[in-house]
Amino acid sequence: MEERNNTLSARSAVLSALLGSHPPRLSARHLVRIGALFGIAEGTVRVALSRMVAAGDLLQAGGHYTLSERLVARQARQDESRDPHTRPWDGTWEVAVVTAERRAPADRAALRHTMGTLRLAELREGTWLRPANLVRDWPEIVTAQCTLIDGRPHDDPTPLLWDLDGWAAEARRLERALDRAEGLAEGFLVSAAVLRHLLADPLLPGELLPGDWPGRELRERYDDFDRRYREVLQEHLRG
């Protein structure tokens, strides 16, 4: 889901709804009803849908809208953040050092975006790393621009790479927001905020986390909230 502050634009409402749906396919009527939760007029939602189709963000067929391939990949990352695939950590760190020469600005920007989605952090310009505890493959954009190394830093670089206190504080705030959320609109916004925050979780091994790290608790609370919220939302859309 996608959320901005305490309100949603028509485009954000549509994306949030589809990113949170499995499969990501909803009718125009349902998307209009979701927009209405935030006071967005039907015409505004339909204009947003047309523009998103023209921009390649959505596909349309038979009065239903689905996510483009790019946004389906984004939904997959969102789902992964809710149920991450990890492996036992043996102390090894993944290090990706940029060694390609004469990179175009677009290639530089694409690599930076990809490193973020892979949950690597930049120690210094061109040097990215993280603990080797995630189960995933390296995409071609990384292997084409970087030399990959497995290593063990002499000192733990975690405090230099991630603001763990900041992430934990926001996670606890969102837990309280889940407990207090009332109504479909507020639940929709809180749900979007939680999903966005989980995408920012560095997914570090337990050995590098504070003992009271709230990652698992936030996921468990959100899963319970989401099950209940989806039932109420589907009933509203059928009405």
64-90 exposure pattern, b = at least 16 Cβ within 10 A, e = fewer: ebbbbeebeebbeebebbeebeeeebe
Residues of the chain above pLDDT 90, percent: 91
pLDDT mean across residues, the chain: 94
Contact 66, 30 (CB under 8 A): no
Q: Are 188 and 16 in contact (CB under 8 A)?
A: yes
Please state the pTM of the whole predicted model: 0.89
Strand pairing report for 25-27 and 93-98: unpaired
Q: What is the pLDDT of residues 182-212, one digit of tens each?
A: 999 999 999 999 999 999 999 999 999 999 9
What angle do the packed helices 215-238 and 183-199 form, to 10 degrees?
140
| pLDDT per residue as tens digits for the range 23-48 | 999 999 999 999 999 999 999 999 99
127-131 vs 93-98, strand pairing mode? antiparallel
Task: Output the six-digit token pair for 89.
Answer: 């950590």
Residues 85, 135: contact at Cβ < 8 Å?
yes
pLDDT tens, position by position, 60-71: 998 899 999 999
Runs of H (alpha helix) within the chain: 10-19, 28-36, 42-54, 69-82, 105-117, 140-143, 158-161, 164-180, 183-199, 215-238
204, two tokens: 């570090």
When pLDDT is cut at 50, 70 and 90, the band that residue 236 belongs to is confident
User: What angle, rounded to 10 degrees, do the helices at 215-238 and 69-82 form?
Assistant: 130
Kindly report, residue by residue over 93-139, the tens digit of the pLDDT: 999 999 999 899 999 999 999 999 999 999 999 999 999 999 999 99
As to burial, measured by CB atoms within 10 angstroms (0-12 exposed, 13-18 middle, 19+ buried), residue 174 is: buried
The answer to whether 93 and 133 are in contact (CB under 8 A) is no
Which residues, 6 or more positions from 186, have their beta carbon under 8 angstroms from its beta carbon? none
- Count of residues in the chain: 239
